[in-house]
Amino acid sequence: MARIVMKFGGTSVANLERIRASAAFVRREVEDGHSVAVVVSAMAGETNRLVALCEEAGPPAPALDARFVEHDAIVSSGEQVTSGLLALVMQQMGFRARSWQGWQIPFNTDESHGKARIRSIESNAIGDAMDRGEVAVVAGFQGVNREARITTLGRGGSDTSAVALAAVVGAERCDIYTDVDGVYTTDPRLTKQARRIGKISYEEMLEMASVGAKVLQTRSVEMAMAHGVRLRVLSSFDPPDAGASGTLICDEDEIVEQNIVTAVTPDFNEAAVTVLAVPDEPGRAAGLFTKLAEANINIDMIVQSASREPGFANISFTTKEDDLDRAVEVLGEVQAQIGYKSLQADRNVAKISVVGLGMKSHAGVASIMFQTLAEKGINIHNISTSEIKISVLIDSDAAEYAVRSLHDAYGLEKAN
């Protein structure tokens, strides 16, 4: 019996009706003779509700670290409820099933509360249960650290729980059920022109996830790529017997027709910081970014330019909007030491990225991007590139228009 891992996101377990609909997909796999583990998210909106409660109750910084330990105990609780409910529903359907919390498996993680990384997973007990024909319903998003404290894997982390579990139990595939029937050429909520992609390479999916396509958590794609987990994205809103194939995320060489540009991805959760008049001397940038790294703040799109004052430079970077206040706070603490003049922060920015493996070998992708934005009168603040991606930072009010214009300009609505 082949082992498989299925994962149901928040909208797929949003209430008992949706949990029963998701259970029908599990039933189909069990009846097909698979040994099944199911990873679940919290009900849609529940994690946000729990995060808001923590914010309301928590002490302000500097007690932030202590707050995050309890934060994880609280925000992980949504998954405890849905794992129990799905196990109950499966039992009522006549199947053997039980829930597993992160600490019961366990999913061992590092100490980084709120953004923990999985160190190891004990797979014997859960693998044995699966092979006995018991459906293992696993609470996603949560782990446990060396101090036996509950940790969480970052927002959207149930995807990573599912892929990690699939890797350690040697699953034949890992199916991610959500509210869209696959990965699209852009977020299908933004334009009707968005088209489902049948197969996408790990590399492109990784790039898309890391620039903000929230359909899969970045870490989950990284892990699938490292361990060769066959990952599919499917809709739990289609009927289970419709035979929908969703999107397969696989090795590049399994994809016959390769596009130059595969997708346009917006990220509305960006904020820009500009540090003005930093002394133009070795070690100043290092001082700024070391401080941000110590605070566990991820940064992106770094640009250094000459300041109007000779001997000084301006340094801009982007960070997640959620991290902006902390970034400003920790940079404030080193102002005297670094000797910069002032700081500017801007939440009204968005990052738009075009991603495609074909960029490795084709010229002209950047010029189409810049020309299209220029024709639409959209100003670019920052640019960053990788081998298979070009990102621009623009005003957030222009972001949706930019996505639609670029989707058009690269002809992404046409099936390949």
- Choose which of 140, 143, 212, 356 interacts with ligand ASP (CB under 6 A): 140
Binding pattern to Mg ion, positions 1-30, x when CB under 5 A?
Answer: --------x---------------------
Which residues between 143 and 202 bind ligand ASP (CB under 6 A)? 155-159
What tokens does 8 get? 């149901």
Residues 138, 399: Cα–Cα separation, whole Å: 37
Please say which residue, 9 or 102, places its beta carbon nearer to Mg ion.
Answer: 9
Beta bridge partners of 386: 389
Identity of the residue, 9 or 356, whose beta carbon is nearer to Mg ion in the bound complex: 9
Should residue 47 be labelled a site residue for ligand ASP when binding is judged by CB under 6 A?
yes
Question: What's at 296, amino acid-wise?
Answer: N
**Cβ-closest position to Mg ion:** 156
279 by Cβ neighbours in 10 Å (0-12 / 13-18 / 19+) ranks as: middle
Residue 212 near Mg ion by CB under 5 A? no
Of 155-174, which residues contact ligand ADP (CB under 6 A)?
156
* 71-76 CB contacts, 8 Å cutoff, 24+ apart: 71/113, 71/114, 71/152, 72/113, 72/114, 72/116, 72/142, 72/149, 72/150, 72/151, 72/152, 73/149, 73/150, 74/50, 75/47, 75/50, 75/51, 75/152, 76/102, 76/139, 76/141, 76/142, 76/150, 76/152
Of 22-30, 178-186, 251-259, 403-411, the window that binds ligand ADP (rule: CB under 6 A) is 178-186
For residue 195, give the nearest of 247, 146, 242 by alpha carbon. Answer: 247
Q: List the single partner that 179 binds among ligand ADP, Mg ion, ligand ASP, none, CB under 5 to 8 Å by kind.
A: ligand ADP
Residue 47 binds which of ligand ADP, ligand ASP, Mg ion, none (CB < 5-8 A, kind-dependent): ligand ASP
Gap between the Cα atoms of 123 and 84, Å rounded: 20
The distance of Cα 30 from the centroid of its chain, to the nearest Å, equals: 29
CB closer to ligand ADP, 209 vs 338:
209
Minimum Å distance from CB 258 to ligand ADP?
Answer: 18
| Contact positions vs ligand ASP (CB under 6 A) | 9-10, 41-42, 47, 78, 140-141, 155-159
| Contact positions vs ligand ADP (CB under 6 A) | 9-12, 41, 156, 178-180, 183-184, 186-189, 213-215, 263
| Contact positions vs Mg ion (CB under 5 A) | 9, 156
